[in-house]
A and B are shown apart, each in its own frame.
Chain A
């Protein structure tokens, strides 16, 4: 059994906190009942700091830090909602909308989309950046699910849940820059990837309408982002049903 980690102390928005030394700033922020927006983070999956929405200001640090991948340290003085942070967050969300093809009106995830919700949270009433209308495609080769790349924000939740929870590692990230995309197998049609168990976990955790069940029409997607945490906890704490 490992030695108990020492507690560290600091403050967030003027509110004092005490936390385990291996806690992330995001855990401490949420534990204190405070909020920062996130898109790529999901409890139960390894944090990657991809979406940059959870950036916070730490006094004495020369740059802003993503709370999900920053470990707390003793004496940390953290600010989560400075005008600078709010400006950058809104800009980041506008860029998500501008770089993909996000048309809420007829999306499967309309009403249950985390990108749509985060736009409200950061106060986005329009995009100051021109929409790019990138040429992407839809992979409908899987018998049960589809991947509409137009709606993908490259959060990599699907990549992580498939690797870390399902253990199948169907998904990866391919290509670079504006052509960067989620790929199945060795960049094959999803339906051709024998490793896929059709478990649907990637669809459950996708924050937008990029991954969806084929029977879902406009506004009919019902995601389950809570499942990786439930499964991770059930495994670590042996919460098996029917036993």
Chain B
């Protein structure tokens, strides 16, 4: 009797994004059972309760831009602990909507101050105040960055969100040990 080969250790991460890419991942529906046969999900906001990013990850999909100190710490950690890192969706690839506050970088106080003032002071109905809980609420970075400006990225899967079919085709290639053919409207395209 032979021992089955160890399953590929698979993780998904949610940084500064709306979770729409993860919703699209869940749209894989019954193919998720096939995926679960092929991989061991070791870290994921939608498929695992693990709170600490584990060591020895083979493949990691990263949704979202890098917008705060926690995003940055997790990005560095997942890169150090993963063989293959994928920029998963437009926020990871381009900074997309979270990156819009970069337009206020040149305004007095910068983008961080501008977005906090707008969200917590100007638009507050009552009790206007900035959130302040050091060590609990992560500090915003001054500039929101796409993932590849923070860590080396091995593959890019654009889309807002990438469709379930695009995600499936991409993962099927990687699971077969092939380079995903990222070309044409089925596999590429922002928005």
Contact = CB atoms under 8 A, between A and B. Distances in A.
A240 interface: no
Interface string A114-130: 00100110011111001
Given A104-B190, A110-B191, A125-B156, A135 B106 contact: yes
Interface in B156-191: 156-158, 160, 182-185, 188-191
B182 A101 contact: no
B191 A104 contact: yes
Chain B: interface secondary structure?
Answer: loop
User: Which interface class (under 10, 10 to 19, 20 to 34, 35 or more) fits B?
Assistant: 20 to 34
A103 interface: yes
B40 to A, nearest CB: 27
A120 to B, nearest CB: 5
A116 B183 contact: no
B191 A107 contact: yes
A126 B189 contact: no
Contacts of B106: 135
Contacts of A126: 87, 93-94, 146, 148, 153, 156, 158
Contact of A106 (B97, B105, B183, B184): B97
A96 to B, nearest CB: 12
Interface in B74-113: 87, 90, 93-97, 99-100, 102-103, 105-106
B149 A130 contact: yes
Given A103-B100, A125-B156, A133 B188 contact: no
A113 B99 CA distance: 21
18 contacts: A103-B96, A105-B190, A105-B191, A107-B191, A113-B191, A116-B190, A119-B190, A120-B184, A123-B188, A125-B93, A125-B157, A125-B158, A125-B188, A126-B87, A126-B148, A133-B105, A135-B103, A135-B106
Interface of A: 97, 101-107, 110-111, 113, 116, 119-120, 123-127, 130-131, 133, 135
Top 10 closest pairs, chain A to chain B, by CB: A104-B191, A125-B156, A105-B160, A104-B190, A133-B102, A110-B191, A126-B156, A120-B188, A126-B93, A120-B189
